[in-house]
Amino acid sequence: MIPEPLRSSIESYLREFHNKTVKVTGQQTIGGGSINDAWRLDTETGPFFLKYNNAGKFPAMFEKEARGLELLASAGAIKVPEVIHYDSTGIDAYLLLEYLEPGVIKDGFWEQFGQELAMLHRNSNDYFGLDHDNYMGSLYQYNSPHHDWPGFFVEQRLEKQVAMAKNDGAIGSGDVALFDKLYPRLDTFFPQEAPALVHGDLWSGNFMAVSTGKAAIIDPAAYYGHREVDIAMSTLFGSFSNAFYTAYNEAYPMEQGWQERLDIYNLYPLMVHVNLFGGGYMASVKRILKRFV
């Protein structure tokens, strides 16, 4: 059962929003991963998706996630769950979202998903980064604006994670030296493109097929970055269907050699995993570093 203060806070919000008493009539736990407890809540106005965690351990996490979801939704390109409400009560913080009815992957799913991601990536900005920091998983993600992608990627992505791993003893001085050799080579490595609105954590666990037969993306770490970061992340823990990449490239062609660049982008999520789960991921990091330096 969800904590009673949480239930009361949600019912209070729904009462104010609908100007009538709204009760939670049922609740069902859903796999929420290692950070959050996740639930389907049934109410007199319909179902919602709820997740909650320790407010002190992850300050403002749900506010930042809500802002990311709203930013992605504003692009009008791909389905994201609507943000209903977020708040904290006692030791718990929570995020209440539209409940997305799960569906199944049917013919044409991957092609439409690729086309819609391409549409999302056509939303641009004047700089790489964001006007606020947010989270990548349970780690703080830094988004200080930069006007060039290599500078942003090195300073706001790789250097932050390498410093954390070094301080925790998860990475040695020899590996740090390999990163230091890599950084200057990135100035001419990436295609020069305008900043693109990206999901930021687009692995196979952060999209779902919904009842309409289309894709929805969830749990973002959104910012304006190089669009190939989403493509790279989609290959990290089991690639999407080949039809997805073909459709994306037809809708918004990537520059030649994009497959060769994916490993470099994935150094960031791999280092996040090193810092979250230990040095077991360092083998993949070292393989990439040695390939490029």
Q: Which residue is catalytic, options 87, 201, 219, 230?
A: 201
Give yes or no for a contact between 59 and 86, defined as CB atoms under 8 angstroms apart: no
Using CB atoms within 10 Å of the CB of residue 210, give its burial: 0 to 12 exposed, 13 to 18 middle, 19+ buried.
middle
State yes or no: is 107 an active-site residue.
no
CB-facing half-sphere around the CA of 197: CA atoms within 13 A: 22
Give yes or no for a contact between 226 and 196, defined as CB atoms under 8 angstroms apart: yes
Using CB atoms within 10 Å of the CB of residue 6, give its burial: 0 to 12 exposed, 13 to 18 middle, 19+ buried.
buried
Give yes or no for a contact between 195 and 225, defined as CB atoms under 8 angstroms apart: yes
Alpha carbon of 73 to those of 68, 134, 173, 217: distances in Å? 9, 17, 42, 10
CA 134, CA 131: separation in Å to the nearest integer?
A: 10
Using CB atoms within 10 Å of the CB of residue 287, give its burial: 0 to 12 exposed, 13 to 18 middle, 19+ buried.
exposed
Which token pair is 223?
């910012």
Give yes or no for a contact between 96 and 48, defined as CB atoms under 8 angstroms apart: yes
CA 206, CA 161: separation in Å to the nearest integer?
A: 22
Strand partners, 43: 24, 46
Alpha carbon of 31 to those of 5, 36, 128, 256, 262: distances in Å? 22, 9, 33, 39, 29
Cα-to-chain-centroid distance, residue 98: 18
User: Could you give the residue numbers annotated as active site?
Assistant: 201
